Amino acid sequence: MMPPRAVGPGVLGISSTWGVGLMPSAPPLACRAGVVSCAAVTITVVGSIAFDAVETPYGSRERMLGGAATFFSLAASMFDAVNLVGPVGDDFGEEEMAVLRTRGANVDDVERVAGGRSFFWKGRYHDNMDTRDTLDTQLGVFEHFVPKLSAASREAEVLFLANIQPGLQLQVREQCERAEFVALDSMNLWIDIARDELIEVIGRVDCLILNDEELRQLTGKPTLYTAAREILGWGPSIIVAKQGAHGATLITAETYFSLPAYPLELVLDPTGAGDTFAGGFVGFIASAAGGAFDDNVLRNAMAYGTALASYTVQRFGTEALLQITPEDVEERVADLWSFGRFDRIESALRA
Ligand code: AMP
């Protein structure tokens, strides 16, 4: 695979759409034309499809479309065809359904439950924007949800088990027998109340994507590295630690690779950053060689996840993911590549 386009020293500037950020000094490359094929495989995602109420130091929203599967799908659908699986209540309107269908996502398995309420989450961010309090979680239609996937969703080559009850993740995992690459996300709530089920489903996936702190909570290990090594013994061969404003780290048996978060002057709303990252990461793996991956594919996947997440946090909710273009994403991936690279100069150190 070709490396992303190298850019010269970036300049801090103002782009009309995305405000102050780091802009490369050369024009962006067209969207990976000729590098990987588009819509090579299909990705199925199950997870929350929600209404979110969010308070940040920069503003608030009382009810906007959110949910882990929603953010994932909006990001992953930039790479491949996505099947969305999950229930919504009859408070979920046609307008929200239209957003779920972005970039042709298949919503046949988005079940509208008559008389039910959609999943609802309310959160308040602290001043540092990296930590938040969950003020309310209402499972609504997820409480009695029994996933019955259509043939199209069951036959996907790539499966993402987004954050939801681990028991539901397991039921979906069992139905997708043909999936060649399966990734999973979760959160502290499920580590607290459904740890055994969570460990069982982790044992059935290839890749675990979790917050740094949650990896340590799950394993009781003191460092990210020891926590990841422990989980590599449970079944997954790839661990990705999400580290908020500090970026993300990839750990496999052979690899340790870290990327910083994309530098931004203003973060408006971090909600969905992790799920957007997962959509970019898994979406890239799916599109590159149809799910077969090597170390360099994983590193590129980290960059696409990071670039996509950087757009999400610049707007409230899903607003940014509905506006960005392939060129926007390529531009930030190229910047990320240039931030990390250096040619080794061996020093004549004094003993
Ligand atoms: P993130 O900011 O990437 O961690 O994801 C935020 C999204 O996760 C929000 O849109 C919420 O609707 C959703 N969410 C929050 N808590 C839960 C939960 N317990 N189970 C499933 N989804 C959740």
- Could you read off the pLDDT of 111-134 as tens digits, one per residue? 999 999 999 999 999 998 888 999
DSSP 85-97: EEEEETT--HHHH
Q: Two tokens at 318?
A: 């899903």
Ligand 1 site, CB within 6 A? 48, 50, 52, 66-68, 121, 137, 163-164, 187, 189, 271-275
Is 129 or 220 the better-scoring residue by pLDDT? 220
Percentage of the chain beyond pLDDT 90 is: 84
* Alpha-carbon torsion angle 302, 308, 312, 314, nearest 10: 100
Domain boundary assignment for the chain: 41-337
Q: What is the mean pLDDT of residues 6-30?
A: 42
Among the listed ranges 37-51, 169-183, 294-308, which one has the minimum average pLDDT value? 37-51
> How many CB atoms are closer than 10 A to CB 35?
14
Among 38-52, 169-183, 187-201, 221-235, where is mean pLDDT lowest?
Answer: 38-52
Closest listed residue to residue 332, CA positions, set 349, 347, 310:
310
Distance 29 CA to ligand 1 centre (A): 33
Contacts of 52 (CB under 8 A, 6+ apart): 61, 63, 64, 65, 66, 67, 120, 121, 122, 123, 271, 317
Compute, in angstroms, the gap from residue 177 CA to the centroid of ligand 1: 26
Q: Is the pLDDT of residue 32 over 80?
A: no
Token pair 């750990």: residue:
251
299: how many CB neighbours lie within 10 A of its CB?
A: 16
Q: Could you tell me the distance, in angstroms and rounded to a whole number, from the CA of residue 212 to the centre of ligand 1?
A: 16
Buried b (16+ CB within 10 A) or exposed e, 175-208: bbeebebbbbbbbeebbeebeebbbbbbebbbbb
What is the CATH number that goes with domain 41-337?
A: 3.40.1190.20
Q: How much is the average pLDDT of 1-30? A: 41
> Given this model, what pLDDT does residue 20 score?
46
pLDDT of residue 130: 82
Does residue 235 carry a pLDDT above 50?
Answer: yes
Q: What is the pLDDT of residue 13?
A: 37
The predicted structure's pLDDT at residue 25: 35
Task: Using a cut of 0.85, tell me whether the model's pTM lies above it.
Answer: yes
**């359904």: which residue's tokens?**
97
Over residues 243-258, the pLDDT tens digits come to 999 999 999 999 999 9
Write the pLDDT tens digit of every residue in 56-76: 999 999 999 999 999 999 999
Ligand 1 atom nearest 274 alpha carbon? 3
Tell me what the mean pLDDT of segment 187-199 comes to: 96
State residue 44's pLDDT score: 98
What's the CA-to-centroid distance between 163 and ligand 1, angstroms?
Answer: 7
